Structure 1
Amino acid sequence: MAVNTVGDLAMSYIFRSRNAQLKADMVRFSTELSTGQVASVSEAVNANFGPVSAMEHSLSQLEAYRQSISESAGLAGAMQSSLETIRQSALALSTDLLTSGSTSSAVHLDALGASAAQAFHAAVSQLNTSYGGRALFSGAATDRAALADSHAILSALEVAVATETTASGVKAAVDAWFDPGGGFDTIAYTGSPTPLAPMQAGANRAVDLDVTAADTAIRDTLKGLALSALMSSPPLSEAPSEQAVMAKTAGDLLLQANTDLLQTQARIGVAEETLEDAKTSNSSEIAALELGLAELLSVDVYESATKLEQAESSLELLYALTARSARLNLADYL
């Protein structure tokens, strides 16, 4: 039986090594051909990873800003929608209250009070809205609703005015309840006194979405709705003339609060505009960096295709040589 010589073993090792190298080259050139990017970043940058690392770090930061901008824009939009719904409802009610006049019947004024109660419940519901699992108007306490149950709030107000007999007395009691440190702060508002922290929209850009249900414009709107709702509850429900006075008082308050609420919405609108500008700027920076990174790591597709063909030809030649070597060895053995 023939015994392999050292030369035979060496040749076998050379064939195997060359075969593995050519297959790796084919995978590499195929990948470069399909992606248009280098398979080996180290070779492309001559082992100088500084520029690539800097670009990738910047892209990572910009992606974080993109997510923050998207979330902030969603929060701002949801806040605008809730406040606009409340404002429109309160404006319509103020018109009805101010046009009711002193000649309105007790039945009509009771009906207005009932409508106001529904508007109050709806307003509290809007202020307790959340977006993406975060309460909109609770300040830093985004994990809980901004306000207590609306029925519980109206019940507390009914207790607060129970001893009053006139519209002015009820108004004074409700004013005290809604004043800082009063029942609104201790019973109604369940959010945080600390506003929501500024939302990062860029390296040197942040927006404030710090509106809470305790803000003056919102507080006054709720007060106006509550005063209107109390028209259909004792003691005012038993005195139509006092109901009519309260209708005028509540209507005036809601009309003024409506203007203030528009200013609050304008603040949010400024934040939305800032976010839109940041979004455009951020997208431009991402596109520029991605283009720069792609150019840095791009390959000549024609060159890769040529190298792939050469590797394929070399591998075919290697197979032919291997087969021929095997036949020669067999002839020697025979």
Structure 2
Amino acid sequence: MKTSFISNLAIQNSMRMTISRGQVEIQKLQEEVVTGRFADIGLSLGAKTSTSVSHHRDVQRLETIQDSNALVTQRLSTSQLSLAAMSDAAQQMLEAFIVANGTDDEPKLNVMRRDVEASLELFTSSINTSVNGEYLFSGINTDVKPVDDYLEPGSGAKAAFDTLFLGHFGFTQDDPAAAGITTAQMDNFIDNVLEPEFMGPNWNTNWSSASDTNISSRIRTNEVVDSSANANGTGMRSFALAAIIGIELMDSPISSEVRASVNEKAIEYAGQAVTGIDNERSNLGVSENRVAKANEAIEAQVRIMKLHLNDIEGVDGYEASTRMQSLLTQVETSYTLTARIQQLNLMNYL
């Protein structure tokens, strides 16, 4: 009969390796139970890994657009609030002109002028609104304040008007000689000198620093919208023109007939301002609606892709938990056996 030598050290090392492998597998199974997906995607999916990576990239791109759309929504909602304030200011200015219609009473004209100045101040502060350091109504020139305050000392816009009036009539609007201006002459000044200053290219030189190009935002992979307005719209130009007529001409020393004609022009431009600004609000409202629908579509796409990813990468949580419990039992048994084997020593039996 032949006997073979078996080392208890070899048995201990074998148990130790079993425990080590079991611990690694337990960690992997714990991760799978917690995340619900394979711990090692490449090892588990093999050739299908590229599909998983592609879907993850698509989900990340869509979620990036969702984050961008949140900023677009903020810009649009803030712009709407500012436009609402501008529309209210235009309406208040229109009412001030209507109340002053047909009057030469100086106190009433002074009240009208204060109301128009208050409306212009509200308009200016609203159109210069900024969010996150960007001016909302500067178009793509987001780092430039779109409109300076006309009522501030040293205003370039004020200087431009004074130059226009003096160059056309040969005296200032406050000069007593203004009483000699006829209705035809004043209409000619407003229609052929003042209005082109606001509606033509000089608006961008003397009045506005905004760009005509609005900010465009990609709200879906295949859809782009304008996400801002700018200070060069017809409504904004008409507002400024009406306000300047009210501030500079209505209470100047002109005749009653001329003042009535000027007031009629101011009412006309103020009405155009209300309409134009409300049109801007409508345009942004369309963009807001498109962004909301885009977000709904993106959310649906993300859900579908994540469901597909779960089909590819997902693990059976119950099965993984059962395997983990089985491995824990095996490891505990290995610990017990290892401890007993370590106690096997010939000296204990001598």
Structure 1 residue 46: deviation in Å?
3.1
Deviation by residue 1:236-269 (Cα, 9 ceiling, x = unmatched): 4333624443222211211123222222222212
Work out the CA distance in 2 between the residues paired with 1:170 and 1:133: 40
| 1:181 has 2:205 as partner | no
| Residue identity matched to 1:309 | Q
Q: Deviations over 1:258-288 (max 9, x none)?
A: 2222222222121111111101101111111
In 2 relative to 1, CA 125–154 (structure 1 residues): closer, same or farther, beyond 3 Å? farther
Secondary structure at 1:161 match in 2:
helix
Report the counterpart of residue 209 of structure 2 in structure 1. Answer: 190
Match of 1:154 among 152, 158, 164: 158
Give the distance between the partners of 2:283 and 2:113, measured in 1 at CA: 32
How far apart are the structure 2 equivalents of 1:34 and 1:10? 36
Conserved 8 A contact 1:134-1:142: yes
**For 1:165-180, what aligned pairs fall within 5 Å after superposition?**
165=178, 166=181, 167-168=186-187, 171-172=190-191, 173-180=193-200
The amino acid of 2:330's aligned partner reads: S
Question: SS at the partner of 2:139?
Answer: coil
Distance 2:119 2:165 in 1: 20
Give the Å deviation of 1:319: 0.9
Shift of the alpha carbon at 1:99? 3.4
| Contact residue 204 and residue 210 of structure 2 kept, 8 A | no
Match of 2:301 among 255, 270, 285: 285
Query: Partners of 2:47 and 2:326 in 1: how far apart?
Result: 26
For residues 201-280 of structure 1, the aligned pairs below 5 Å read: 201-209=219-227, 211-231=229-249, 236-239=251-254, 241=256, 242-280=258-296
Contact preservation (8 Å) 1:106, 1:240: no
- Give the counterpart letter for 1:196 in structure 2: N
TM-score by length of 1: 0.88
Whole-Å separation in 1 of the counterparts to 2:119 and 2:108: 16
CA distance in 1, matches of 2:227, 2:332: 67
Aligned residues: 325
Question: 1:49 & 1:77 partners in 2: Cα distance?
Answer: 42
Contact 1:140–1:192 under 8 Å retained in 2: yes
Aligned to 1:238, the other structure's residue is in SS state: coil
* TM-score after normalising by structure 2: 0.84
SS at match of 2:48: coil
Measure how far apart 1:289 and its partner are.
Answer: 1.3
Query: Aligned partners of 1:133, 1:6: CA distance in 2, in Å?
Result: 79
Contact 1:90 1:221 in 2 (8 A): yes
The SS at the match of 2:46 is coil
User: Structure 2 stretches of 5 or more lacking a match?
Assistant: none
Q: Sequence identity, in percent?
A: 21
Q: 2:123 maps to what in 1? A: 123
Show CA shifts across 1:50-98 (max 9, x none).
Answer: 2211110111110121122222222222222211211121112212312
Q: Deviations over 1:99-129 (max 9, x none)?
A: 3221351211122112211211221211111
Question: What is the CA–CA distance in structure 2 between the aligned matches of 1:332 and 1:42, rounded to whole Å?
Answer: 51
Deviation at 1:148, TM superposition (A): 2.3
Greater shift, 152-161 or 75-84, is seen at: 152-161
Equivalent residue, structure 2, for 1:53: 53
Structure 1 residue aligned with 2:327 = 311
